[in-house]
Each structure stands twice: as structure tokens, then as C-alpha cells.
Structure 1
Amino acid sequence: MNVLSLPAGYRRIGGVDLVRDRRAMLAVNLAALLLMALLFVLGIFWVPLSLRFRSGMGALVEGILLLGAAALYMVLHELVHGVLMRRYSGARPRYGFNGLYAYAGSDAYFDKHSYRIIALAPVVLWGLVLLLLNLLLPRSWFWLVYLIQILNLSGAAGDLYVCFLLHRLPADLLVQDTGVAMSFFAAES
């Protein structure tokens, strides 16, 4: 059940605010950094960095390309969230960036199943796309694509954290995700 207004008999039972809750924000960001470091080390075993370093204009062009690809990835990641929010609720999502997180948000209320799909679809979709690119493109492109994959997987730490929390919440749960804050609602007993 995905709805635009909270049904009668539902009350707020909790939530996550990754901007105001410093403890949750630090935990999620620490997990993201640890995952980033682990993936970086694994990448070094796959394609050594010594094959990657360039100097001069080549390095500058690659740096600009990496920054552009990272920005494009963040937009596409949030777009997947937003497209699914709209598909499940019919309501137009809103997009933004608060200085720490890019986000897609909605005033709609999503059931657990729908929200899990909304939360995890970008990391799965782009993870597969980036994996295929890494397998199909020449080895010289590995680090450019793999660094975006690291951004994909580590950047999904907040989505994974919320999905972990959902696992322990009631089956009739509704989630409202306004961007970087999620509120959880359940039927009163």
C-alpha cells in the first residue's frame, strides 16, 4: 500500500535523519569510508595503480573526466530513486543536494516492499552497469569506471542502513522519505 496521505490509525514509530542525527550520520559515513578503502585495495589487486598513473595533460583530462562521471553518476542514482518513487506513488519527487548528500524525496508513504526497491534499485542497477563496463572496456579504463563503482557501493551506505532498520520493523510499516530524513509509521495496536 503506497499512499499520498497517512491512513487513519497510523502513528510515527521512528525514523532516520542523516543530517540531524550525528551518531547515525557518523556511523553511515564511517561505514562508507571503510567500504571505500576495502574496495580500493581490492581494485589494486585486480589492476595495479602503477598501470594507471599519468602525468601532464593526460592526468588533467582524466581528472576532469572522473569528476564529470562522478557528478553524472550521482544525478543518475537519485533519478532512479525518484522514478521509482513516482511509479509507486504517482507523486512527483523532489531532488536536491544539502552539501553532504544528494537526494530524491517525496511526501508519499511507501510500504516496506516498495521502499526496499526504491532504496536498493540504484546501487543494484548501476552496480551491474558499472561491472559490465569494467568487464567490457579496455583495461586502461578500469580505474575510471571502478572509482565510480566505489562511489556507487560506498555511497549506498545510507540506503543499506535504512533497509537494515526496516527488517526489524512491523510488516504494516509505511515509510516517508523526504530526502535525507525517513519517518516510519505503523498501525496502532
Structure 2
Amino acid sequence: MKGGYGSGGSGAKIDRKVVEKNRRIHMKSLCFKLSSLIPKDHNFPKDALSQYDHLDQAADYIKTLRERIESLKQRKKCAMGKEKYKEVGGEMSNEFGLPLIEVRHQDSILEVILITGLKKRFMFYEVIGVLEEEGAEVVNASFSVVGDKIFYTIHSQAISSRIGLEASRVSERLNELIQQ
């Protein structure tokens, strides 16, 4: 009888060891997938971080993304006119002074987003003219009116990929144009 119990008990121990080993392999695989999704901090080599450090880095990154989402939601509400004003020092002031301009540049592509009020009028062709003078070819331009705001979106690309576009110069010139 003792031999029967011993062999049955060792089989259960082996099964637990295999299950635990498989669980650890699975967890290691999941941690690797998680760490591959998080942008790496250039201060540390990838292999120098422990598994705990990878998890800590992932948690920090998720917190940063949540904060960014909340910030973007707030900006969207303000831009859409739902929260036009906030109190600053006992006075009501416009949170985002209009017109607003944002220039995004990636490789040879330039995207210009312009938000103005209905009262602020300017010539749209002048904006396109600035882009063309700076070496951009307008690929697509659109606008929409939401409440008391006009949203313009202009997609352009560099006429010559060798020369490219200088986004800061375009942004500077467009800011000068819309502030007139």
C-alpha cells in the first residue's frame, strides 16, 4: 500500500511542477508582450531592466496616457464650444484664444489645423498661398462650421522631398497672417 500512495503522490507533485512551470512561461510571455508595447526609455538598455521594472514602466506609461486622454477631452470640449470660458483670478476669460493654429509635420507631409470664430474673417486662399510659398503642394483642404467656430484642415506635401518643409517657418508665417 505504501508504494501505491508514494507513486500517486509523486505524480501529483510532478503535475503541480509542470503546471507551475507552464504558468511561469505564460506570465513571462505576457510580460514580454507588454514590454514590447511600451516605448522604451533611452536611458536604460532593454536588457538591463528587470521584469518588475518593465511592469513599473508599463504602469507609468498607462498613467501618462490616461492623463493625456483627459487633457485631450478637455481641449475638445473647449474647442467645440461646450466650455468656452473658465474663471481666472475672479474674471471669466477665454480658455483658448481664437484663432488657433496647429501645424503638424512628418516626413514630407504637413497638416495645418486652423480654428477661428465666425467673427474673425480672413482669406482662406492666403493660407494656401503661404503654404505654396514655403514649398508645399496642397493635397486636400476642408472646413466645417460647428457652433460659432470654423475648423479648417489642410493637408499638403513638400513639392520636392529633397528640400522638404520647415514646419516652424510655416507656423510662424500662418500665425502672423491670422493675427492681422
From the two aligned structures, give the one with the greater helix fraction.
1
What TM-score do you get using the length of structure 2 for normalisation? 0.27
Larger CA Rg, structure 1 vs 2: 2
What TM-score do you get using the length of structure 1 for normalisation? 0.26
Greater RCO (CA < 8 Å, at least 6 residues apart)? 1
From the two aligned structures, give the one with the greater strand fraction.
2
